[in-house]
Structures are given as structure tokens and as C-alpha cells.
Structure 1
Amino acid sequence: MPGAQEQGGPERPGARGQRLTVVWRNVVLMGLLHAGAVYALVLVPRAQPLTLLWAYFCFLVTALGVTAGAHRLWSHRSYKAKLPLRIFLAAANSMAFQNDIFEWARDHRAHHKYSETDADPHNARRGFFFSHIGWLLVRKHPDVIEKGKKLDVADLLADPVVQFQRKYYKISVLLMCFVVPTLVPWYIWGESLWNSYFLAAILRYAIALHGTWLVNSVAHMYGNRPYDKHISPRQNPLVALGAIGEGFHNYHHTFPFDYSASELGLNFNPTTWFIDFMCLLGLATDRKRATKPMIEARKAKTGDGSA
């Protein structure tokens, strides 16, 4: 599914004359997923309220597996997590089904190091559709593969939780993304398997995917740039709503080491709240932050003058 690009197909011209190889397996699977998600909307009025709450809870867990896990912990090492928290985040990441932690983090490091070049897996300069979902429907650009191999991923290789999830990724996805969300409403409060599957598994999965993809597309095209006007990533509060705090993208690309991926204050950032709570429980430590003087100096030097 997302990110799996190992099969070929007919080619068509792409950006800068590059020929894109369509991965028809991914096109078909994505089409089926979205057809199932649209059908699931019909089932919403027929489902028990607890089922809808469960689907939303699964969405939050799914999102945290990406935002607090693959992104802020494993891609950027912006804080440290104890073993129980890393295990939870790895399981949540399997519920997200967006490639295993190792591949997600490696590709994301390439996205930051080579942002909006051919080595960027979802290069926004190739258009909205490509950066949102199209990059998953074609083979990766050769630069993504070539330069991705040169990235330092020693920390990911040394993390036993990352390697365990990678080794057993398929079975963990089957259980966390589809089986558990479906069986809980059926077994505990008697929801039909049909409703449980389409609402808590399929619809929840599709919505979570788009929440992540909006960061790659919308947050690279629409919004202001108060921290660095010379880069494409933007501040987009609406994206932050769907991606539980990941929409403050101009800040994040300016200060990628910051565990909050935004300035604190009134920003809607549930992922930061989650990490802070884990720190209170003693399960997370060493949160990295950009200092206020550092932020203000950068705004004055490279910002676009917006608030």
C-alpha cells in the first residue's frame, strides 16, 4: 500500500521530462480503499455511537504512530522514548500502515535533506496530486533511491523495536490496521462485523492517510512563511487539525529538531501534548526545543513578516 513502489507498468512523461512508471497494483488497491471509504459513509447512521467513538480513537492512535512515532521520534530524534513507549508507538505505526518505521523515517530524512528536488520522495514541485498521493502510484525517482542509500540510518538499524516491526511488518499491519479495529466493536458491544470493518478499519485508515498526505501537499503550497520565506513549506492550521499538530510546516522545516514541530502557545498540537504527557509519566525524556531568541532571530532574518 502507501509507499510500496516495486512493480512496474506503462510509462508516461513526468516532471522535467522524466518518464513515470505507474505501479498499477497500487493504483488498484488505492482505488478499492477509497471506494470502500466512500461506501463506509453510508454506514455511519446505522452504526452504534460506541463504534464511531472507537473509530475515532483508532484514528488518534494511528495518527500518533506517525506523528509522535515515525516522525518526531524516529525520523528527527527530537526526544527520547523508553521501551514501553517505543513498543506502543511501533504498534500504532503498524495501525497507520504507511510503510514500516525504517522506510518511513529514511524517506522522511531524504525529504528534509533534499526537499523539493528529485531526491525528495514527494517533491511538491511536481504538483499537488503527485505530492499528495501520486508519488505512491509510481516508481520512485532514481535520485530518491540513490541518495536515500547515502543517508545515516545507523540509529534505526540499532533500534530493536524498529527492526522487530520491520521483520514482522505484514502480520503487524494485518492485526493492528484491520483485525483489532474490526473485532473490538463486534466482540465487546455487539456491532456487526460489516460496520466495524468498514468504519473502524477502512474509513479510519483512509482518513488517516489523507491527514498525513495533506502535510506533503497542502502544507507545502498554501499558507504563510513567518520563519523562512525562501523555502516552500507553509504554516497551515487547517492541516494541523487533520494531522494532529503537523501543519506548522514552515516552522518544522526551519527547526526540524524541535520536538513540538511548532511554537508553543495557542497552536493546536495534540502530538506535543501526548509527548509532554509521556514525559510526565517518565516514558519520554530529552525533548529538544528551539529557544525563543533563536526563533525571533530567524523570523527577523528570513521570515516573510507574517505573524
Structure 2
Amino acid sequence: MAPNLKDKDFLQADKKIQERLKPKAVKREYTILYHVVLLLAYLHIAALYGVYLLFTSAKWATVVFNTLIFVTGSYGISAGVHRLWSHRAYKAKMPLQIMLMLMHTMTGQTTVINWARDHRVHHKYCDTDADPYSSVKGLFFSHIGWLLVKRHPECLQKGKEIDISDLLQNPVLRFQKKFYAILNPLMVFILPTLIPMCFWNESLSNAFHVHLVIIMLGANVTFCLNSIAHAYGNKPYDKNISATKIVPLSFMSSGEGYHNFHHAFPFDYRSSEFGNDYINFSTHFIDFFARIGWAYDLKYTTPDMIAKRVSRTGDGTHHRGE
């Protein structure tokens, strides 16, 4: 039976009430950091020119040299600033710490202390205003947009409150922070440009721009773990969080593509249930140094803990459910 006029009026009024009760997205006015926008725009454009030179005039020695730098830097990020210093998933003796600090410095991705602080805040306050690269603010924001604007006041506040006393007391990290203004240009731009020029007579333009390809590729792989790995993929361990499993990223990021596992068990030094996975290069890196005694107290999740988490919160895509 069709509703009468009073029924229609009631339904319309009820609909308006429901619309008012719906949560509204709070829009924020972003303060754009134009100097960062210009810098990153230049670096990306110059890197694209580097791709052209890579295929047209760069020497093979330059290509091999920069490939080695990319691999070295990826270990500095994954095994170093991420698993060792951000999550304290294992401990490292001084020689390995120095090595990883230098490998991280080569990437140009700020100091270990700043990187690890932001990452700890990201895990503790994931997808809130306190999260430096919150995925709920969109794919562009979580990928690179967060670098282009002033941070949310909540993010700044939580960054001051997060415990980084272990990082501030570490002499290797204090050294990097103190001399970063020298180490950064020296290891990120000057030496990688001069070495090809001096040892195999590469041109300045080729040496500089091809290396920028590696720097920006490494940066964007890291950014993808904040953006794509929080937007696409499966959630075999916890369907209630934004982090996903996106295995192809593991190849480029030295084993960080099992992001859903990592957010479920951030203390696991493997960043994956499959520590012996052939593309989890950083796990093999850490295992090697554990065998020679430079890495120790490796933390990992037990199979029983994993099985219980999969059963309780997984989305059904875990191999046990197949």
C-alpha cells in the first residue's frame, strides 16, 4: 500500500535527520611547503632525464655501479633504519651498526633518528591525524603529499611524545645526526657522481643524472610501502587494519611487501612469516650477520601465534585457508 501524505512527510523528515547524523569528513587547510614541492619536482624531472641517459649514453660500469648503490641503500633502509632501529627487531654490534648507518645515509632519506621516529608514530597512531603518512588522507598524500605540506599539529605533538631515547643515546646515530649536513651531500650526490667520472671517465651529466634515477627510485619504493601497501592487496593476518600483503613490492624493497604481517607483528625481524622467502633479501642479510655474530637477539613470531591471528582476524586469503 502506498504511504499517505503524512507518511511521506515523516519519511522525508527522517531522511533529513539521518543525513545530519552521518559523520562528516573534516576538511583541513594544508599549508604547502613550496620549496619542498620545487625540490622534489626538480629531482623527479632530472631523474626522468637520467632514465633517458641510462638507455642512450651511460656506460655499463655506471649502470652496474648505481645498481649496487640501489641494493646497498635498500638494505640500509630495510635491515637498518626499519627493522633494527625503528622496531628493535634484533640487535647489532658496532661494526654492523656503522655499516647500516652509512648504507642508510646513501639513500638521502633524512637521518635514522628522524626516519625511525616518524615510523614509530606511524605504527602507534596508524591512519589518524597523528600518522605522518596516514592512508585515509588519500593515496597521493600517503605516498608523497605528506612531505609537501606542514604536518598536522597532532602529528607534531605525538612525534615529540614518542619514545626515541634509545636512538638519541646511540653514538652511531648521534654521529650521523651531528654531521648529516656533510654526510648527506657527500654520500648522496658528490661521491656517487665523482667515482664514475674519475674511475671510468663517465661524463658529469651521465654520472649525476643516472644516480638521481637510483635516489628517486629508492625513495618512491619506500613511499609505496606507505601508500600502495595500505591501499591494495590482501589482508591474511588482520583484515581490520589498512596494511596489506602486496608481494611484488618485496622484490624492490628487499622483502617489505608482506606489510599486513608486519603491522600485525612489527617486532618480527623477518617482516614476513616466510623468513626464507627468496625475495626477502633483508632477512637473508640479517641471518648472514647473525651467523658471524654481528647480529643477535633476533625476534620472530611463533607459528602458533601466527595461526591464532590468522584464524581470529585474517580475511581468509592465508595459505592455510586454501
- Give the TM interval when normalised to the shorter protein: over 0.9
Please give the per-residue CA displacement for 1:151-208, whole angstroms capped at 9, x wherever unaligned: 11110111011111011112111111111211222222222222111112x1110100
Per-residue CA deviations over 1:101-142 (Å, capped at 9, x if unaligned) read 111111100000000000000000000000000000001111
Partner of 1:194: 205
Alpha-carbon deviation of 1:267?
5.6
Pair 1:259-2:301 in alignment: no
The question of whether the paired residues in 2 share the 8 Å contact of 1:218 and 1:239 is answered with no
Q: By how many angstroms is 1:16 displaced?
A: 2.0
Output aligned runs, 1:226-305, within 5 Å: 226-264=236-274, 265-266=276-277, 268-305=279-316
Tell me how far apart the structure 2 counterparts of residues 171 and 18 of structure 1 sit (CA, whole Å): 37
Distance in 1 separating the partners of 2:293 and 2:260: 30
Q: Which amino acid aligns with 1:269?
A: N
Match of 1:62 in 2: 73
Range with greater deviation from structure 2 (127-136 or 175-184): 175-184
Q: Does 1:76 align with 2:87?
A: yes
Give 1:151's aligned residue.
162
Which digits, 9 at most, give the CA deviation of each residue in 1:267-300, with x for residues without a partner? 6211111111111222111110001111111100
Q: Distance in 2 between matches of 1:263 and 1:75?
A: 19
Matched residue, 2:5:
none
**Secondary structure of 1:131's match?**
helix
Q: Distance in 2 between matches of 1:281 and 1:248?
A: 27
Distance in structure 1 (CA, Å) of the matches to 2:272 and 2:119:
18
Equivalents in 2 of 1:127, 1:146: separation in Å?
22
Gap regions ≥5 residues in structure 2? 1-24
C-alpha deviations, 1:235-286, integer Å up to 9, x for none?
0012212212111100000000000100124362111111111112221111
Matched, 1:218 2:218: no
Q: Secondary structure in 1 aligned to 2:30?
A: strand
Structure 1 match to 2:21 = none
- In structure 2, the residue matched to 1:22 is 32
Identity level (%): 45
Contact kept in structure 2, 1:124 and 1:131, CA below 8 Å: yes
* 1:129 matched to 2:140: yes
The code of the aligned residue for 1:219 comes to A
Count of residue pairs the alignment pairs up: 292
Q: TM-score, normalised by structure 2?
A: 0.89
Q: Determine which structure has more spread, i.e. the larger CA radius of gyration.
A: 2
CA-based RMSD: 1.1
Aligned structure 1 segments of 4 or more residues deviating by more than 3 angstroms: none
Gaps of 5+ in 1: 1-14
Q: Could you tell me how far apart the structure 2 residues matched to 1:25 and 1:87 are? A: 32
What is the CA-CA distance between 1:214 and the residue it aligns to? 0.4
**Cα separation, 2, equivalents of 1:108 and 1:254:** 15
Q: Distance in 2 between matches of 1:60 and 1:222?
A: 25
Which residue of structure 2 aligns with residue 107 of structure 1? 118
1:31 matched to 2:41? The reply is yes
| SS of 2:70 mapped into structure 1 | helix
Q: Provide TM-score, normalisation by structure 1.
A: 0.93
Aligned to 1:4: none
Q: Give the letter aligned to residue 243 of structure 2.
A: P
Name the CA distance, whole Å, in 2 between partners of 1:52 and 1:275.
Answer: 26
Report SS of the residue matched to 2:45.
Answer: helix
1:207 corresponds in structure 2 to: 217
Work out the CA distance in 2 between the residues paired with 1:22 and 1:98.
20
One of 19, 42, 53 as aligned partner of 2:64: 53
